[in-house]
Structure 1
Amino acid sequence: MRKNKKLLTLLSMMLVLVLVAVGCGTSTETPDTGDATGEVKDTLIVGQGADVVSLDPHATNDQPSSRVSKQIYNTLVNQNEAMELEPGLAESWEKIDDLTWEFKLRQGVKFHNGEDFTANDVKFTLLRALESAKIGHIVGAINPEGIEVVDNHTIKIATNEPFAPLLAHLAHTAAGMLNEKAVTEGGENYAQNPVGTGPFKFQEWKTGESVTLTRNDDYFADKAKVKTVVFRNITENTARVIELETGGIDIAYDIPPTEVSRVEEDQNLVLLRDESLSTAYIGFNAGKEPYNDVRVRQAINYAIDTDSIVEAVYQGVGKAAKGPLGTNVFGAHTDLEQYGYNLEKAKELMKEAGYENGFKATIMTNENQQRMDIAEIVQNQLRDINIETEVQVVEWGTYLDETAAGKHDMFILGWTTVTGDADYGLYALFHSSQFGDAGNRTFWSNDKVDELLDAARVEADPAKRAEYYSEAQEIIREEAPWVFTYNGENLAGTRKNVKGFKQHPAGHHKLVSVYFE
């Protein structure tokens, strides 16, 4: 009996030791990432619809690249999912006068190459950004002579004129802070070896296939909850959803409307659906005939049934656009009149412009199924006003280059007003100084619109700014450099065991807080 008691006591002690050992083997830093098989899962795989163009934030302003750069770099100011401004690499800021802001920087922050983050890096980053043809407009209000390093962790930034949305612009992914040493040593190859201060470090980019990032264990804030993030390029929408279903990816960006019910009905998946800051449009090349004639542009607007496009292509996700901005953007003119489908009006305008018998045209788009579907619908509808179109489907990087160079008649594209402010949604797209790479791929300009957009930039009173933007949007709507197609939603799908993922209205989603349950 006594021996049995000793044996039981010994077994109990051994069990306690085993439990303690198991408990010690679980990291307190990273939640349990066990999957359904009981295996530890520490790699998050994200599928998106196009490859990265560049991981140098000054070399591109496209969505797929920005989504990856968001994980690598930090900005001075953050804009959270509610579009509220929060401290980033700057702990605090103060407006000194109408032109000047002073920023106090976080101490103890290190770049991925081990270099300390200082005010000199801020100055280097902003001066370099100002020289960029791709994103210079985002920081273009800054006076290069007005950037003053006070000390290692204090910097003053002055604008050429008062610029109300400066803080929101400094929260843009293109304003991610760079390390001067890394950029200099990287030279022309810096985009293949990016260095930031973000929660993930760059590991590998397989062009056309994937980008792999690893956790930055020296991150100054809460560390990432997974060790590795892989962004996979899965161009075809249905293939991306199938990969989500089968567990090939854990998160799928840009779930197509045609697959919404499929994701919703799968018990192993979760659909996230949130209002976005995006708008989709069909742009004209107003720098060439016949698209330099406003009557032709208006006729095409009347000949295209955007309501049917939203119904057929987007299947009720989002809504038909009335103008260039979504209703959740500050300064959006919500009372604009939609063009509407009016074939007789379209024919009258074509006749007035001398194109009663029509003409031949091309519609350029990239390998995006929804855009290709829209191109096909537009191709059919424009036959009713004797416009014969050829659809050209071009690889994403080439597509951006060719539309920036004006090698198109019409093109289908989208824009996300990342800052949530009308300045970003209008200036880059419609100001005459922004032709090409900066955003104005229609090469359309209007002196009055330039004047209004310039005035709104320097106006401090929000109500007055909104008035300027409303008037500008009325002119843009009337002049029709776009067919105003669609205001969108963010649709993403996740595996059910993925937790902590939140969508950002701008479409640049943070992954630092994502983990597996």
Structure 2
Amino acid sequence: MNSIREKISLAVAATAVAMMALTGCGSGTASTGGGAMLPDEQQNLTFVPAFAVPGLDPTKAPLEMGSNQVLSNVLQALVKLDENSQPQPQLAESWEWTTPTTLTLKLREGVTFSDGQALSSADVKATLERYISQKQTLAAVLAVIESVSADDPTTVTITTTQPTGTLLGVLSMLFIGQAAHAQDDAWWAKPTGTGPFVINDFIANDKVSLTRNEGYWGEKAKLRSLTFKLITDVNAKVTALSNGQAQVLNDVPFDQVATVEAMSNVAFTQTEGLTYNFLWFNNAREPFTDVRVRTAMWEAVDLPTIVESLYGDTASVMDSFCPTSAFGCVAATDMPSYDPEHAKKLLAEAGYAEGFTADVIFSTANAGYDSLISALVSAWNEIGVTITPRALDGATWLSEFSALNWDMDVQPNQTATGDADYTLNRLYKCEAKRMGYCNPELDQLMAQAQESNDAQARLKLYQQVVDTMVKDAPAIPLFQTKPNVAASNTVQGLTIPPTEFIDWSTVYLTE
């Protein structure tokens, strides 16, 4: 255990020393700025996100966090979630469950797309039907929708096959487009929305440039332009902030926090969030078809030491399969703990006393994963298992991941609706077909939790769900993170929601 900690700590220390050389000493406290607002022609901000943006079609890859950070400022949903994950009006001004399986929504009047077209119920109906027909990552949670009807220009009715208390949360993740382009993939690759910004330019996994929607139906954005620029090199990210090439960094790694806090002209803010990191086994591929092998791989990893050494107080080891900040993400009764000797026994029982070889894929767009993967590979090597890391660029990773061309996969994710249903039902249901895992008894428990409106009953069901998943070990929940941003003191009006989908319309630059 000490050898693992020492190896990781040495790597972190070396990085920290290199980072400190970039800046001088500073106050280390967040500043609120307070200078005069810059002229409109100078309201141009560059943001360095933590996640890549592989594409801008939300119906094909609706769970890409980087894409959602962009799209939530261009497109809008029927409802939005507040900081307590409660639905609030957005494109829909009101809604009512007229029967246990019938949800009627009244659209806000006067809403237009950035091309001037008025929003109508036909746009909502066509968009929801596109999401459903794509059969992508939201398929499991959209399966309850039986039909969508446009009753009149401002009224939409959604009929479900069963009572579904989590539907409004799911609707908060469905960005509405135009009915005329519902089947046009090229349009959705660079969509026109009702939000405060419009897409100007996009280079996959590199940058997205937005400009203010001058015809926005609500209060116009203060920023004239907003650029999302991906920088994966840790030194380059901090340099960009220190020299003014970027005004805001998202998710500053633990080994850079002290450096950023030392900058006199930078404010660092950290909060609770809904983002977490996990490892998936391809449960349909040998040797991971055997639960003993999957459990052995879990018990071989000293997660508390790895997470503390690599992430400090910016992350914490998970005790469930989704972040505890989300409703229903209850702690497992008995999670596997670090026990390499027992792991070896399990491998021997499964017929792998001499170990085996496999691979693990991850995206290079996720900064800092090299150290994490190295620590995991080292741990598995200690029980005789040889794992080959496959570091892939964002586009290649997405292609390999979607094709299930991997033995193990490590990636970040998010319980974006603040409800366990969004993660557990969506990812681990048999119908999801995400990584070869299927347990009909688990499906039944999750369906009951989805239907119920009784909070205490749902929590009891999710306890059974999580404990069942621990026994099956289809994945290893690694750690949940605390979202943070480092921003120049010239940046005002910036807040970090639990989803990390920042509303940039309230942000502006000062002198």
Indicate the residue corresponding to 2:442 in structure 1: 449
The amino acid of 2:80's aligned partner reads N
The counterpart of 1:483, out of the listed 452, 476, 484, is: 476
Return closer, same or farther for 1:142/1:227 CA change in 2, 3 Å cut-off: farther
TM-score by length of 1: 0.88
Identity of aligned residues (%): 28
C-alpha displacement of 1:369: 3.5
Q: Please state whether the residue corresponding to 1:464 is helix, strand or coil.
A: helix
Whole-angstrom CA distance in 1 between matches of 2:202 and 2:120? 28
C-alpha displacement of 1:213: 1.0
The counterpart of 2:408, out of the listed 393, 407, 410, is: 410
Retained in 1: the 8 A contact 2:127–2:182? no
What are the superposed Cα offsets for residues 171-225 of structure 1, whole Å, 9 maximum, x if unpaired?
11xx1110122455xx332244310100001111134432111111221222101
Return closer, same or farther for 1:294/1:138 CA change in 2, 3 Å cut-off: closer
Whole-angstrom CA distance in 2 between matches of 1:292 and 1:138? 23
What are the superposed Cα offsets for residues 310-356 of structure 1, whole Å, 9 maximum, x if unpaired?
11221232211122021111112225333221111111111111111
The amino acid of 1:371's aligned partner reads Y
Whole-angstrom CA distance in 2 between matches of 1:422 and 1:82? 14
C-alpha displacement of 1:67: 0.7
Instruction: Say which is worse superposed, 452-461 or 380-389, in terms of deviation.
Output: 452-461
Return closer, same or farther for 1:428/1:401 CA change in 2, 3 Å cut-off: farther
Structure number with greater CO (CA < 8 Å, separation at least 6) is: 2
Return closer, same or farther for 1:116/1:106 CA change in 2, 3 Å cut-off: same
TM alignment of 1:496-515, pairs within 5 A: 496-515=489-508
C-alpha displacement of 1:263: 1.1
The counterpart of 1:470, out of the listed 458, 463, 469, is: 463
The amino acid of 2:349's aligned partner reads E
The amino acid of 1:413's aligned partner reads Q
Return closer, same or farther for 1:208/1:406 CA change in 2, 3 Å cut-off: closer
What are the superposed Cα offsets for residues 73-104 of structure 1, whole Å, 9 maximum, x if unpaired?
11110112332321101111111010111111
Indicate the residue corresponding to 1:303 in structure 2: 300
Instruction: Say which is worse superposed, 457-466 or 115-124, in terms of deviation.
Output: 457-466
Retained in 2: the 8 A contact 1:119–1:155? yes
The amino acid of 1:127's aligned partner reads E
Indicate the residue corresponding to 2:115 in structure 1: 113
The counterpart of 2:191, out of the listed 181, 190, 194, is: 194
Whole-angstrom CA distance in 1 between matches of 2:235 and 2:439? 41
Retained in 2: the 8 A contact 1:129–1:139? no
Retained in 2: the 8 A contact 1:356–1:385? no
Retained in 1: the 8 A contact 2:48–2:237? yes
Whole-angstrom CA distance in 2 between matches of 1:269 and 1:396? 30
The counterpart of 2:37, out of the listed 14, 33, 39, is: 33
Return closer, same or farther for 1:158/1:244 CA change in 2, 3 Å cut-off: same
Retained in 1: the 8 A contact 2:241–2:248? yes
Whole-angstrom CA distance in 1 between matches of 2:333 and 2:274? 18
TM-score by length of 2: 0.89
Unaligned runs of 5+ in 1: 1-30
Indicate the residue corresponding to 1:26 in structure 2: none
Indicate the residue corresponding to 2:162 in structure 1: 161
Residue correspondences, number:
474
Q: Does 1:84 align with 2:86?
A: yes
Return closer, same or farther for 1:302/1:253 CA change in 2, 3 Å cut-off: same
Q: Does 1:349 align with 2:346?
A: yes
Retained in 2: the 8 A contact 1:366–1:372? no
Whole-angstrom CA distance in 2 between matches of 1:388 and 1:160? 47
Whole-angstrom CA distance in 2 between matches of 1:374 and 1:101? 44
Retained in 2: the 8 A contact 1:277–1:416? yes
Whole-angstrom CA distance in 2 between matches of 1:241 and 1:205? 23
Q: Please state whether the residue corresponding to 2:502 is helix, strand or coil.
A: coil
C-alpha displacement of 1:66: 0.8
The amino acid of 1:495's aligned partner reads S
Whole-angstrom CA distance in 2 between matches of 1:278 and 1:92? 29
Q: Please state whether the residue corresponding to 1:494 is helix, strand or coil.
A: strand
Indicate the residue corresponding to 2:72 in structure 1: 70
Indicate the residue corresponding to 1:24 in structure 2: none
Whole-angstrom CA distance in 2 between matches of 1:127 and 1:104? 18
Indicate the residue corresponding to 2:56 in structure 1: 55
Retained in 2: the 8 A contact 1:417–1:424? yes
Indicate the residue corresponding to 1:233 in structure 2: 230
C-alpha displacement of 1:56: 1.6
Which 4+ stretches in 1 moved above 4 angstroms?
none
Whole-angstrom CA distance in 1 between matches of 2:376 and 2:441? 31
Retained in 1: the 8 A contact 2:213–2:220? yes
RMSD value, Cα: 1.8
C-alpha displacement of 1:130: 0.7
Whole-angstrom CA distance in 1 between matches of 2:288 and 2:204? 36
Indicate the residue corresponding to 1:216 in structure 2: 213
Retained in 2: the 8 A contact 1:323–1:336? no
Whole-angstrom CA distance in 2 between matches of 1:326 and 1:193? 32
Whole-angstrom CA distance in 2 between matches of 1:136 and 1:343? 37
C-alpha displacement of 1:141: 4.2
Indicate the residue corresponding to 2:488 in structure 1: 495
What are the superposed Cα offsets for residues 234-288 of structure 1, whole Å, 9 maximum, x if unpaired?
1223322221111111111121111111111111111121111122111111101
Higher-Rg structure is: 1
C-alpha displacement of 1:304: 0.5
Unaligned runs of 5+ in 2: 1-34
Retained in 2: the 8 A contact 1:49–1:237? no
The amino acid of 1:209's aligned partner reads D
What are the superposed Cα offsets for residues 10-58 of structure 1, whole Å, 9 maximum, x if unpaired?
xxxxxxxxxxxxxxxxxxxxx9533xxx996211111124442221210
TM alignment of 1:121-200, pairs within 5 A: 121-137=123-139, 140-145=142-147, 147-172=148-173, 175-183=174-182, 187-200=184-197
The amino acid of 2:481's aligned partner reads G
The amino acid of 2:210's aligned partner reads L
